[in-house]
Every structure is written in C-alpha cells, then in structure tokens.
Structure 1
Amino acid sequence: MVEDGDTPVRVLHVSQPNAGGVAVYIGQAVREQRARGWEVAVACPPGGDLPARCAAAGVPWFSWKAGRAPGPRVLLESLSLRRLVKGFEPDVVHLHSAKAGLAGRLPGRPRGTPTIFQPHGWSWLAATGAQDALSRWWERLAARWSDALVCVGLGELRDGVRAGVRGPYRIVRNGVDRRLFRPADAAARLVARTRLGLPAAVPLAVCVGRLTRQKGQDVLVAAWPAVLARCPTARLAIVGDGADLDLLRRAPTAGGVLFAPASREPADWLSASDVVVLPSRWEGLSLIALEALAVGRSLVGSDVPGIAEVVRPGVGALVPADDPAALAAAVAHRLLRPAVAEREGRAAAAASAGYDLGRTLALLASVTREVAALRDHRCSGGRCPDDRCFDDRCFDERCLDDRFFDGVALDCDLLDCDLLAADAPDADAADGGALGTGAAAGPVPNSSR
C-alpha cells in the first residue's frame, strides 16, 4: 500500500553477492519497498538465497551472471547489466557492493539513470599493493557517477572520506528486525540448545558468518587453544559456509570446535550462545552483531569500523584485529564469568533499540525517493554548476567524529571544523543526513552478516 505522499518509484537493485548479509539486506529492502506500492526488481547471479528471498517478497528476479572478482569479463557484465536496465526502465538503479558498483558505473551511470551505490564494505579493504591503489582510484572516479553514496555506518563513511572518495554521502545505518531477534533468557537458551543438539550446560562461544579471510575465523581458531587452557569445558560453534572451510577444519584447535553449515536465520545459534565472537578484519556494519545485540548476548569483536560502532562499552569487548591472544583472553573471561556475560547481554538488548530495522528501511526509501527525483533534473556534463563540494575543505576527517551529525542534513558549506567542535547530539539521531557534492538537505569485500 502506498503511504500518504509516497509517489511510487521503480527501483532495480543489483548485487553480485546472492547470499549472506548483503542478500539479507536486499531482501528486507525490496519487501518493504514493494509494500509501499513501488515497482521493484533484483538483478543478481543465480544461486544463493537472494532469488528465493525475492520470490517470497513477490519481487521479480533477473539473472545477472557476474563473477565475484574484477577481471576481463567485467565489460561483458556491464553490458549485460545495461541491457537489464534498458528493459526494466527503473527510476533508480541501486548498486550493492563492489562488483555491482564497478559494472554498474562503468563507464558512467547506466543509461543516465539516477544511481545509488552502497558499498557494504569498501573495495580496497580486501586489496593489497597495486590492487589497493587501483581500487581507491576507481572509487574516487566512480563517485561522480553516483547520486547517493549510502554508507551503513559512520565508520564506513569515515573510511571513504579518508581514502579521498568525494561524493553525496548518506548514512543509513543497518538495522535489525527485533520481531525475529528477541532477548533470549536462560529458558530460551536451553530451548535453542535442545533444537541444535548442543549440551545444556557447557560454556559456548558462537561465531556466525561466511568462512572467509574478511570474517577472521582463522584468528578465532588460532585463539581457541588458549581459551581451552583457561576454560577446559568450553565449546566453540563456527556457523557458516565459504572458501576457508577446509583450511579451518585442518587447523589445530585442541578440540571443542563444531563446524555447522550456514543458517538462513541464525537466531537459534545466537540464543544458544553465552558469548558471540566477531573476529572480522573489516566490516561495513555487521548484521550479525546487531542480531546478537537484539538477542541479548555479550559480544567480543575486532576493533574495526563496523564492529566498534556496535560493541560499545558495557555490551562486550573490543580487541585488536589479528590478535589471537587478546581475543582468547576476552572470550575466556566471559565464558568463565557468566554473570559478566549476562550483564552485558542485558545491556546489549537495550542498545538494540537504536538499530530498529523499520527506521533503517524508511530512511533508505527516503534517500531513494530523493534520488529518483533527479531523473527529470539531470544536469549535463557530469557535474551541475552548483556542485560545490569537490574541495578538501568539505572533507576534513577531523570533523568526522561522533558529533558530526546533529539530526539534520548538512550542506557542504556548513562543514567547518570550528562549527562542529561544539557539542552536538549523538550521531544515532542523524541517520539519513547528507554530506557531500551539493547534496540537498533531507577488490571485492562483500559484507555478510
């Protein structure tokens, strides 16, 4: 049903990841947008669970055969995508993650259609050496063909600005469906363990996510013997599928490790846990972290953007990325002291109210409507005459602390560090704010859970 004042919009979402956190996010977004009466479709490779999520939402799915990594086929993938855009004729093309961002903006907006790019983790985070430099150069260039750069958290925005990506940034923080992920008390923990066939009383750490270098399960496996040395009865469940499964299985762990296949809805695993571990090397804004918050679980995570934004004091602990000793100490501390984990879990459940999915999707719809309105007002020549924000004055990273957003969208002329040094409300009140290239008020790390 179309909301009051909500003109229907036709949106094509494009993604190379067809599973994991990006697929969850897109599935949630298209369901909500279709409920608004919008015409929505998704283009992604066959396989994974994203096509099934589209079918469940009554949303058309188009097969877009794109590989995960960049390479010689990217031009063919770009041409294939442009044919889909021509056929569907959307008001907005919404590109999710690095590969869609590459194919969908090479060499410019597809058929001049207003375009949103949402990195879900910037492309250079997975790159090294020359590929790192090339990824940063590309994102700087491609930003000029983006009508909105949607970041899922403040940390992701900071990373983009520090890398020199200048563009019409919007923050739309990830959210969690608190109807599906609810606080789980001791009785709910026992029920979840019974369903999963787990012992009722053992101290249990759980790590959920794709088994890849990004997610850092190798660091957790390396830390596990030190956890067992402190807490010999502890168990670890690593839940997920991915390229690193065989490598992780072969690693010495001293026992107590269970590998479980990916779960489309991981609420039972989170409910069964005493502590949830997030050893990622990088994140956009971790969905599994938000889901763990909502279930009411203590979190131990890497001190990286996208996790540090969620794991605030009182809900768990942050440790340096790639540090098995520090990770082991933080996990063992909570497994040995259930009262600490329970107290942090209660604080986590309360904190989850700040990440409500309904608000996230409403903000995303608002940004999409604003971008769609550009369709009939496209400036020629790439940049409009009133684009005023391509100078570094507007992007001094010293300004980008948690005081940056004050609940209203800021035009670039207001981005002055002296002004922003004044106290301002918490950044949580400012999702949806605009930053960048004349925005009006109002390779390939694909993030997963």
Structure 2
Amino acid sequence: MHKKLGRWAEHFRVGASSDSVGTKHRKRRAMNPRAEVRPDGTANSKLRVIHVGPSMLGVGGIETVIRTYVEFEWSGLEFQALSSWNKTAGKSRSWESLRAAWALIRSYEPGNARTIAHFHLSHQGSFVREGALLMLARTLGLCAVATIHGSAFVSSSLRTPWRWIYPLVLAKAHAIGVLNESTMASVNAMTTSVPVYLVQNPGPVSSSSVEEKSPATCSPTAVFAGTVGRRKGVDTLLSAWAAVLEEVPGANLEIWGPIEDSMKGSPGSRHFRGPISAAQVSERLRQCRVAVLPSTAEAMPMFILEAMGAGRPSVVTDVGAMPIQIGGGGTVVPVGNVDRLAQALIFYLVNPEIASEHGLAARKRYEENFNLEETESELRTFYQNAIATMKSRESKP
C-alpha cells in the first residue's frame, strides 16, 4: 500500500500533472516545483505561482489566461499550471480534481512563503470544484489567491445556494482579483475580510510580434470566436448579418468555436466553422477586417485581447470590461440591439481605412496596457499583498 501511494505521489507531483504547450511567439516556462539555485549558491528570488484551473490545453477564456501565464517569460515570477478539470477528459474527468488535490499536497513546503496557489474561478460549479481546492490550500498553509472570471458570477451570486457558497469560498482567500467594477462591488458586498483588486487578464499576443497585414488590405470579413451560443450573442449576430449582407453583398462572416445544442440547425449555421486552436484564432484575426463579440454577459474576454493584439477593431456590447478594454479601438453597441450591431459592422466593412485606423489604436492600447512589464508589475503587487495578508493573519493570536 505504501509503495502504491509512493508511485501516486511521484506521478502527481506538481509539474507531472501540469499542462505544457509551446507556440511561436512564447517561451515555455520550465515547470520545476523547487526553487532554482544560482551559480553563487543563492536561491532564486522569483515568486513561484501554481495556477489552478481548467486544462490550459483546452479551448476557452480561462484556459487561454493560464496558458498565457505559463508560456510567457517573466522576470520575477515562476508560473506552473495545475489542471483541476478537462472538458475532453470523458469518464476520467472526475479524477482531475483528485490529482490536483494530491499535487497541492506534494507542493507544500513548510515555512516557504514564496509559493502561491492561484485559483481561477468562474461561477457556480467552479466554486465547488476549484473552491474545494482553495480551501485545501489554506488548510495546508499555502498562500491562496483567486481570480473571478465568470460572466454569470454577479447574477448567480443572488441565487441559492450560490449566495452562501461564494462568500464561504472567497473568505478563505488571501486576496481576490476581479476583472471589472461590477464584480468588485459584488465581492465587496460578500466579504469584508479579504482585499479585492482589479487584476486584468494578461495579453495573449507577444508585443514583439509584427503585424504584417492591415485590416484595409483584408477582405470584408468579420470574425467571431468563442462558444457559439446565446450568451455570446450569436443569435443576435446572425440576425444582424442579414442586414449587413444587404449593404455589403460580398461580406463574409466566420463563427469559430464549439456549438451549443440550442444553436444547432439555426438559420445562418452555414457560418459556423467549428472549434479551432488559439493559434488558428490569431491567424483568422490577421485575415479579417473586424472582430465581433456581441455577448449578453462577459468579464474580460481574451478573444478581444487577441483582436487588439492583432491590430483589429472590435465591435462589442456594453457588458463587463469590454467598453473600457477596447478604448478607441472599436465600437460599443447595446446588448441585443440588432440594428446597432449591423450598423457598426457595416461601418468597418465599407470603410477599410477607418478599420485600419481603429485597429492601429487597438494595437497601441494593447501594447500600452497589456504588455508584459505592466502585467507583471500588477501581478507582483497582487501576490505581495496576499503574502502580507497571510502573515498578518498568522500573527494574530
């Protein structure tokens, strides 16, 4: 029995169960659970952060966030990914959380305040799955922080049983990161014992990558990427596209992503192209004139950051962080407004030079606000405040 547990421990140590993937513009981080040692024999001063959430090999917003953290090179942070669940794991999906729990236990080093467990929470079931792991991390004595990504977090926080479960989980964190002001207000109403900070998602496109093709030189194509469903506003987009074609007969619409059952067989399904990888999303953005995301609810979508990084203007709805996110690099329309959505898309499709001008503004905003230095500085402050909170709690009798 002891030998079997030993083999499990070796297999499930942090790093062995972590995801790893490499892309053209990112340098993969070595996932070493121990601090590196410099030639002079001193320990590496980097903060070690274990990101816990859905498999970064999957497709989705949180998956892209974790993948970006792990793959970029950071000067003062050492990131690892620990999968707590995998959408494609099938029958073995239920084992992911158990493997993650065992990996957290293995990662604990008594007296090491420089290891942080960073939990990526969505809403509802995520607060049961990752929430349980967050509580385990606290029991182990790890510094635990959480970022809330869920588009339905605020609305579901008012319903049973989530209005009880959310505060219970969040109270265990040493710091909480949110993506927009509405989520911050909701969290502050739940708990006053944990500091809450605005922590933006990292930009998934390397600032060093060069945009070779401007929107003006591309065909009149609009690109959507995400879950193909009503929450993402695909039904509104399809209705608006009929009006777009009346004004721009040669326009193309590409809708990429997994299709929800409610959208299968719907009029306009000829535009559905199916799921693609993050690299393929970037490639399609570089071949289009405008990106579109008419969601009914969002936190801070990575797809829009990808569009900004690609130098594309975006047409978005006035939800979550999107209006602030795009700045002058796109157009904001009301949720569910078919006419306004169609007008905004037509505007960019028939005005290629303006599309390039707004795309350039989007790229500039991306480089100024979502560059590695800015993101790392924000993260280090977030983590250091969490460590200070943990030490403050430990010093109290």
Deviations 1:168-219 (A, max 9, x none): 1122222323336544434x876xxxxxxxxx64x11111123344322232
The alpha-carbon distance between structure 1 residues 258 and 155, as it changes in their structure 2 partners (threshold 3 A), is same
Percent identity of equivalent pairs: 25
> Paired residue for 1:88?
107
Contact 1:2 1:36 in 2 (8 A): no
Deviations 1:222-248 (A, max 9, x none): 3221221222221101122x241x543
The unaligned stretches of length 5 or more in structure 1 are 50-63, 68-75, 191-199, 386-449
Aligned pair partner of 1:12 in 30, 44, 50:
50
Between 332-341 and 174-183, the greater mean CA deviation after superposition = 174-183
1:288, CA displacement in angstroms?
A: 1.7
The separation in 1 between residues aligned to 2:346 and 2:269, in whole angstroms, is 15
> Paired residue for 1:114?
143
Q: How does 1:306-345 map to 2 (within 5 A)?
A: 306-312=321-327, 314-345=328-359
Instruction: Note if 1:210 corresponds to 2:227.
Output: yes
> Paired residue for 2:4?
none
The separation in 2 between residues aligned to 1:348 and 1:374, in whole angstroms, is 36
Instruction: Note if 1:357 corresponds to 2:372.
Output: yes
Instruction: Note if 1:43 corresponds to 2:83.
Output: yes
The separation in 2 between residues aligned to 1:123 and 1:17, in whole angstroms, is 21
Contact 2:244 2:345 in 1 (8 A): yes
Contact 1:297 1:342 in 2 (8 A): yes
Question: RMSD value over aligned CA atoms?
Answer: 3.7
Aligned pair partner of 2:207 in 151, 167, 179:
179
Q: Which amino acid aligns with 2:52?
A: V
Contact 1:189 1:272 in 2 (8 A): no
Aligned pair count reads: 342
Q: How does 1:40-79 map to 2 (within 5 A)?
A: 40-46=80-86
Aligned pair partner of 2:153 in 124, 127, 131:
124
Contact 1:183 1:349 in 2 (8 A): no
The separation in 1 between residues aligned to 2:230 and 2:167, in whole angstroms, is 25
The alpha-carbon distance between structure 1 residues 34 and 102, as it changes in their structure 2 partners (threshold 3 A), is same
The unaligned stretches of length 5 or more in structure 2 are 1-35, 110-114
Taking structure 1 as the reference length, the TM-score comes to: 0.65
The SS at the match of 2:325 is coil
The alpha-carbon distance between structure 1 residues 122 and 326, as it changes in their structure 2 partners (threshold 3 A), is closer
The alpha-carbon distance between structure 1 residues 165 and 322, as it changes in their structure 2 partners (threshold 3 A), is farther
Structure number with the bigger relative contact order (C-alpha 8 A, sep ≥ 6) is 1
The separation in 2 between residues aligned to 1:22 and 1:356, in whole angstroms, is 19
The alpha-carbon distance between structure 1 residues 94 and 248, as it changes in their structure 2 partners (threshold 3 A), is same
Aligned pair partner of 1:29 in 36, 49, 69:
69
Q: Which amino acid aligns with 1:121?
A: G
The separation in 1 between residues aligned to 2:272 and 2:149, in whole angstroms, is 29
Between 104-113 and 80-89, the greater mean CA deviation after superposition = 104-113
Q: Which amino acid aligns with 2:356?
A: E
> Paired residue for 2:8?
none
Between 332-341 and 103-112, the greater mean CA deviation after superposition = 103-112
The SS at the match of 1:308 is helix
The alpha-carbon distance between structure 1 residues 342 and 78, as it changes in their structure 2 partners (threshold 3 A), is closer
Contact 1:81 1:103 in 2 (8 A): no
Instruction: Note if 1:301 corresponds to 2:316.
Output: yes
The separation in 1 between residues aligned to 2:329 and 2:346, in whole angstroms, is 16
Q: How does 1:269-308 map to 2 (within 5 A)?
A: 269-308=284-323
Taking structure 2 as the reference length, the TM-score comes to: 0.72
Instruction: Note if 1:224 corresponds to 2:248.
Output: no
Deviations 1:48-97 (A, max 9, x none): 69xxxxxxxxxxxxxx9666xxxxxxxx9876654332222163221112
Between 142-151 and 172-181, the greater mean CA deviation after superposition = 172-181
The SS at the match of 1:289 is helix
